[in-house]
Chains A and B, each alone.
Chain A
Amino acid sequence: MKFITIDKKDWTQGIDKSRKTYQLFGPVTDENGCKIKELDADVAPDMDYHESVMSAKSVLFPQSETILTTSLNEAVDDHHIMKRAENTYTPRAILGIRPYDAKAILLVKLNFDTDDYRDPYWCDAYEATTLVGLGITKPGPFDFSTSVGCGPFCEEGLDILLADLDDHYLAKVLTPKGEAYAAACGFDAAADDKESQALFDILQLEAEKNITSRVETDKLKDKVLLDLHEAPFWDDIAFACINCGTCTYVCPTCWCFDIQDEVKQKQSSRFRNWDTCMSPLFTRHATGHNPRGAKVQRVRQRFMHKLKYFLDKYDQGIMCVGCGRCVKSCPVNIDIRQVAHTMNTFEKKD
């Protein structure tokens, strides 16, 4: 691990240099707000952004991604044989990713890269990606990352962590991937390790002090799963829900997808799309039966998955990094912090 100083005057030139070998992604602000997307050749990342409506998950897990293709032309060899789509996994870097989004990628990895299954699309994209994080010096009012094992300067999942120091960035290079990216940019002005770490510690402390939003999740682990499942509060929580996909799509840790086939002339492709457990279609069987046909069942599923099933299965905390996007974007203001509190304090009445 080492520290580098990057003068802001050299920033754009440096990242432009890296474009020769890296495909770049980063925060882009337009009239609809800020999103993390691919940076066109003449676009620099908006490093002054406060929050992005959408997380960085789409870089590794696009909302629509072709996974298999085949030709239906019988004159072609291998017609009707599905083969992996020719996606490229050249090196890419996400610039200015927030620490909670990087931590979210590690949580998503638990699902896409297991001993039993390896999702080749996600894993190949993950391996090709360097995460250049930007510490959060002014956490927003919805940020509750410190309550869920993350934080404004959390390093988990990152390859480089940048601290914004007005006229320059102080970069903490955390992994070989991070070293390679810094080298590709030509950023090599070494900073003193001890002083730099001390500075990072202060920034972290200051930022964490400004996080006022907290959630208690300490008792969830010991709750009996079925007690929570059968708890009486779900109807009240679900009443306002309109069953849109906003919470799941803005969430950096929601990973569910649906598979679709499409044919254009003689070319067939199979692709996956983000799916949402809020939609009745998510669980509707071909027979028409729907095991989660009612809204309340779907709302319960989302929170039980994030706050209980995931916790019980992996024992790595809840499936939430505290970014607060769902809290802010939910059209009817269903607040995961409140739901977590309700679940955490629930005692079954005998």
Chain B
Amino acid sequence: MDTCIKKIRELAADLLDKGEVERVIGFAKGTIPMATSPIAIGSKQEIEKLVFNSTCGLNLANFARNLKGKTAIIAKGCDSRNIVTHIVENQIKRDQIYIIGVPCTGMVDKFKIASRFKDEITQFEEAGDTLTVSSLSETKELKKQDYLRENCSLCTHRNPVLYDVLAAELVEEQVLENPFPDVDRIEALDPDAKWQHFSDLTKNCIRCYACRNACPLCYCPTCFVDEAGPQWVGKGQNKTDVDTFHFLRAYHCAGRCTDCGACVEACPMGINVRDFTRKLNKDALELFGWEAGLDITKRPPLDTYSPDDPNDFIK
């Protein structure tokens, strides 16, 4: 996957050169190990700034709203699904955006990698499936497959679902016997244990809203937690208010979430924010046969009515 950067740069340079797009949104090399930074490139001279590797865990669709002029964007499978969602939800128009699709083999879990070391990571290199990671005191070779983010290890849409050009050959999609083992584990708990699980999940939340702000679905002009007249939710660290934020945000994402993992990627506290949305994704699949962001002609199940709805209650 790291080799596709040559092609990405080539395609991006060509688009800018020919004036087909005004900018290319992609990832730039980070200033620290295991970090990359979203960037907009406006000229061919800056093209070397673009990188692509297994630490590009944010979702670039989040940077593709309110576009002025045609924009090219680097899109992994999940980014492309959120671009589809943006188009369906009228956040962008298909012809405003030129999608450079990148078939993806998964992003790495930085917390998991860091947890293997006694001290801080000072270097991160990848070649194929091998990650070479150093801290101040040691160097380890790790298999990328063992350190994938959970959402990536459960991903069945690694290839972009919508694109204008591909930067690499399509990859084989994973076929999973059970795409929701994590949800099953929580569903199996009794109600008290279930409540405890979600309660523990938020105990270290600092309400920085990095999860919300990294999420391409969270584009409301004013989020319900920021609304001041009337004020829906208390703003302090009261547990009820903290939980309310997470629970309601998850429901706002029902039937729209692509499980891109940007929320988890962004959280400075290492909270598995996906635990809030995963059950809703499972429900969407089981009740409506729906996975978000696969088709620009279909509206999400919760904002549409169909006469052949399988449920009786609405008829």
Contact = CB atoms under 8 A, between A and B. Distances in A.
B136 interface: yes
Given A50-B119, A327-B32, A63 B206 contact: yes
Interface residues on B, range: 35 or more
Contact of A51 (B120, B228, B237, B266): B120
B208 A328 contact: no
A6 to B, nearest CB: 24
Interface in B29-57: 30-33, 35-40
Interface residues of A, number: 43
Interface in A301-336: 327-329, 331-335
A163 B315 CA distance: 73
Contact of B236 (A51, A260, A327): A260
A160 B58 CA distance: 42
B259 interface: no
Interface stretch (B7-15, B245-253, B268-276): B268-276
Nearest to B46: A236
A258 B267 CA distance: 22
A32 B272 CA distance: 10
From A141, A271, A331, residue with most partner B Cβ within 10 Å: A331
Nearest to B122: A141
A276 interface: yes
A324 to B, nearest CB: 9
A176 interface: no
A250 to B, nearest CB: 6
B243 to A, nearest CB: 15
Decide if the interface of chain A is mainly helix, strand, loop or mixed.
loop
B204 A333 contact: no
A29 B218 CA distance: 31
A337 B31 CA distance: 9
Contacts of B234: 260, 262
B235 A239 contact: no
15 contacts: A64-B236, A140-B120, A140-B136, A141-B121, A240-B63, A242-B62, A244-B208, A244-B214, A246-B268, A258-B235, A260-B236, A273-B236, A331-B210, A331-B265, A333-B37
Interface of A: 30-33, 35, 50-51, 53-54, 63-64, 138, 140-142, 239-240, 242-246, 249-250, 258, 260, 262, 271, 273, 276, 279-281, 327-329, 331-335, 337-338
Given A240-B37, A250-B268, 17 more contacts: A33-B204, A141-B121, A141-B136, A239-B40, A242-B62, A242-B266, A244-B213, A244-B214, A244-B266, A246-B266, A260-B236, A271-B236, A273-B237, A279-B209, A327-B32, A333-B31, A337-B31
